[in-house]
Structure 1
Amino acid sequence: MLLKKNIPWTYILGKIKFDLIVIGAYAAAFGLWHQDLNLHHITIPLAIPAIIGTVISLLLAFRSNQAYDRWWEARIIWGSIVNDSRTLIRQAQSFISDPDVSIDVREFIERFTQRQIYWTHSLGRMLRRQDALSQSDGYLNRSEAELVRHRRHIPNTLLQLHARDLKHAFDQGWINAYQQVEIDKTLTRLCDAMGKCERIKNTVFPTTYSLYIHFALYLFILMLPFGLTEHLGGILVPVIILISACFLFIEKMAIHLQDPFENKPTDTPMTTIARNIEYDLNEMIDERLDYASNASKVEVDEKYYYVL
């Protein structure tokens, strides 16, 4: 999904509420322990937590940048899917240029369009590890639905069906060899985009890097009260919670962005993009069918032009 409104604070705080509860309990226990036992002389120079905080900031900045790069790459890939989907149907329409197309050709273009629409939906659902076969009614005919039902990689199977229909169009003489090559290039770009999405999905962020950040962050939180107790006094607990929350927010943000296909508010809006593709392609095919069936001839300079 794509959120244009402000994300509710309940959602944001819900991601770190358990961490904040533990940190608050630790800070409160630390304050009571120092007060009751009168151990104010046990402190740590503030420079030590400051150095650790600086190191954590650099680590979190690197992780946030890498996570955002993954998210932005996913968005660019889906932007190319939008362009190539439109290009694919435009090629299928323009290369079969005779307005008096037969019923077989019209059905071919319409079936090609509906299959491409379903390809975008199935790819998004597969990346989110959902059932890619759901909601196939209306997009695939009975034989195609039966074929993909027995396949593991449904989007790849749909591209194979595209290639099969492309060969059939060439064998029927609807397109020539050059046009077949151009459409096949578009199918290749769609296949490349699918592979890039799978690469992002299957390449996990290094767990050792996350472990180091967690270790440094928890060490920083443990040492922070020792450096602030003589400066803050009674407001020690809320200050520690606020400082810790800032670091935890950044870490959680990076964790959510590093995998843009997990069906979260920060994900690439694949469902919305697929629906926009569906709207655009259906609009294109409706225009093509109207053009084929309702075109009127206008004679100009001894040539025939077709207008809507």
Structure 2
Amino acid sequence: MSTEKDTNVTMIKDTEKDINNTKEDKIGVHDPYAYHRPHFIRWKGSVLSKVIPSAIIVAIIATIVTVVHLKTPIKLGIEPSFIPVLSFVVGLLLTYRTNTAYDRFWEGRKLWTTLTVAIRNLTRCIWINISETDGSKDIVEKVSAIHLLSAFAHATRHYLREDPPLEYHDLQHLISNIKSDLPGFEPIEEQDLRDNIKKYGKSFGLKMFKKSKLTPAPENHNLPLTITLYLASYLEEKTRQGKVDVPTKVSMHGSLNSLVDCLTSLERILRTPIPLAYSIHLSQTVWIYCITLPFQLVLRFDYATIPIVFIASLVLMGIEIGGEIENPFGNDANDLDLNGFCKLIERELDTIVANPRQSVETWVYSEKNQALGRDGGSASEVLKYSSEEIRSKVSHPDVIAVQVDSQNKEVNH
């Protein structure tokens, strides 16, 4: 009974896995220009959920100021001469904040494009330019190296998001044969836990306990950099065996250097946020501006001051969008679609390794290859002409087409 139960559980899990894989396979290339609802009525992807609580607080303050000013002898209204002065400063700060955040977002996208180009170039060189004199052995080595390129994209994504190793489920089948000992990023809470253990362990006599009980989860290692080391060793091995020429090796090392350069630049974006003092000053300036608005508007708008201040606060506190796209590598709606980018790379590389290298004989001299254009005859038929005739008529395929048709008719007769 136990065996039958275990078998049923396994079948259920396998079925769920197949369903999930099917759903993932149906996901096509992301189309950012596909039709959506008008932006002004969309909630997902906006910063309203983060801004509304702050705007409500400002609206409550505006309500108190308005009621006190209109219902009591205490007059809180002031001349609105302060608005133009502070509006200019707030406008400059908001513009700089938004532009700086978007520059970081766009630079991250450009770096990922460069990374994709380097992976594609390396894949092409490995699959085409490295000879296969040892047959299956060379093919297995090629496939393994290309799998590491796919793993590099996934590992970079996890690395930038500081995901714990337990979440590398989409990476395990690609890197199960390698190991990383290079230190990398580590979540702050794990750093604090590790530091506290080292700091207070001796004070409380915790040395008597086993080390395994005190040591937290392993650090997040720099797996992408480790992968480049394995790829470099593969290139050197193929060069030593004489299976790749020097120019190709130089080109491949250039692409490999590009991967490391992209990784380092992505780290720079992740680990160099906008200075804290600037962010604090901007936030405080916006809050001061919003809180002083009802005092300056109540003299003119009475109770209409409340909705006006609420709407103005929603607009001004939209600076939260800058904080959301400042780090474009997360899982927010406005971050880069790194999951989609990695899946696209993996599918491309899987498609490449699933097909053998195409020799010139198979595609140039195919019956479907119209070497001289439409109705110009196949490549094998064009070979009947001399090189001078082909050169003279290559810009006029219709002439050759007539000759080919006439020759075919003569053969049939």
TM-score range, shorter chain: 0.7 to 0.9
Question: Aligned with 1:9: secondary structure?
Answer: coil
Is the 1:156–1:191 Cα contact (8 Å) retained in structure 2?
yes
RCO (CA 8 Å, sep 6+): is it higher in 1 or 2? 1
Q: What's the CA shift for 1:49?
A: 1.7
Cα-to-partner distance string for 1:243-300 (whole Å, 9 max, x where unaligned) = 1110011x1111111111222111121111111111111122223x2648x9699697
Is 1:70 the counterpart of 2:139 in the alignment?
no
Is the 1:68–1:257 Cα contact (8 Å) retained in structure 2?
yes
Alpha-carbon distance in structure 1 between the residues aligned to 2:363 and 2:305: 81
Compared CA separation, residues 62 and 3, structure 1 to 2 (3 A): farther
Q: What's the CA shift for 1:178?
A: 2.7
Corresponding residue of 2:320: 252
Corresponding residue of 1:183: 252
Cα-to-partner distance string for 1:175-219 (whole Å, 9 max, x where unaligned) = 123322221111000110000000000001111111111221111
Greater CA drift, 205-214 or 69-78 = 205-214
* Two-structure CA RMSD over aligned residues (Å): 2.6
Structure 2 counterparts to residues 97-246 of structure 1, below 5 A: 97=131, 102-131=135-164, 133-140=168-175, 142-144=176-178, 147-148=179-180, 152-246=221-315
Compared CA separation, residues 2 and 126, structure 1 to 2 (3 A): farther
Structure 2: gaps of 5 or more residues: 1-28, 184-220, 367-379, 384-413
Q: What's the CA shift for 1:3?
A: 8.6
Compared CA separation, residues 284 and 39, structure 1 to 2 (3 A): same
Structure 1: gaps of 5 or more residues: 302-308
Is the 2:109–2:336 Cα contact (8 Å) retained in structure 1?
yes
Question: Aligned with 2:69: secondary structure?
Answer: helix
Amino acid at match of 2:104: R
Compared CA separation, residues 96 and 12, structure 1 to 2 (3 A): same
1:265 equivalent among 329, 333, 336? 333
Alpha-carbon distance in structure 2 between the residues aligned to 1:297 and 1:58: 61
Alpha-carbon distance in structure 2 between the residues aligned to 1:16 and 1:212: 18
TM-score of the pair, normalised by structure 2: 0.66
Alpha-carbon distance in structure 1 between the residues aligned to 2:230 and 2:347: 22
Is the 2:70–2:302 Cα contact (8 Å) retained in structure 1?
no
Alpha-carbon distance in structure 2 between the residues aligned to 1:266 and 1:297: 46
Question: Aligned with 1:15: secondary structure?
Answer: helix
Q: What's the CA shift for 1:226?
A: 1.4
Alpha-carbon distance in structure 1 between the residues aligned to 2:288 and 2:363: 78
Q: What's the CA shift for 1:233?
A: 1.0
Amino acid at match of 2:247: Y
Alpha-carbon distance in structure 2 between the residues aligned to 1:17 and 1:36: 27
Question: Aligned with 2:224: secondary structure?
Answer: helix
Question: Aligned with 1:16: secondary structure?
Answer: helix
2:73 equivalent among 29, 38, 42? 38
Question: Aligned with 2:331: secondary structure?
Answer: coil
Alpha-carbon distance in structure 1 between the residues aligned to 2:252 and 2:347: 21
Q: What's the CA shift for 1:230?
A: 1.4
Cα-to-partner distance string for 1:60-89 (whole Å, 9 max, x where unaligned) = 001111111000000000011111111011
Is the 1:128–1:261 Cα contact (8 Å) retained in structure 2?
yes
Is the 2:51–2:317 Cα contact (8 Å) retained in structure 1?
yes
Alpha-carbon distance in structure 2 between the residues aligned to 1:58 and 1:17: 23
Alpha-carbon distance in structure 1 between the residues aligned to 2:134 and 2:320: 56
Alpha-carbon distance in structure 2 between the residues aligned to 1:268 and 1:17: 25
Question: Aligned with 1:45: secondary structure?
Answer: coil
Corresponding residue of 1:305: none
Is the 2:182–2:226 Cα contact (8 Å) retained in structure 1?
no
Q: What's the CA shift for 1:167?
A: 1.1
Alpha-carbon distance in structure 2 between the residues aligned to 1:296 and 1:43: 83
Corresponding residue of 1:276: 344
Q: Percent identity?
A: 20
2:118 equivalent among 84, 92, 102? 84
Is the 1:118–1:139 Cα contact (8 Å) retained in structure 2?
yes
Instruction: Number of aligned residue pairs: give it.
Output: 293
Is the 1:2–1:267 Cα contact (8 Å) retained in structure 2?
no
Compared CA separation, residues 199 and 296, structure 1 to 2 (3 A): closer
Is the 1:2–1:268 Cα contact (8 Å) retained in structure 2?
no
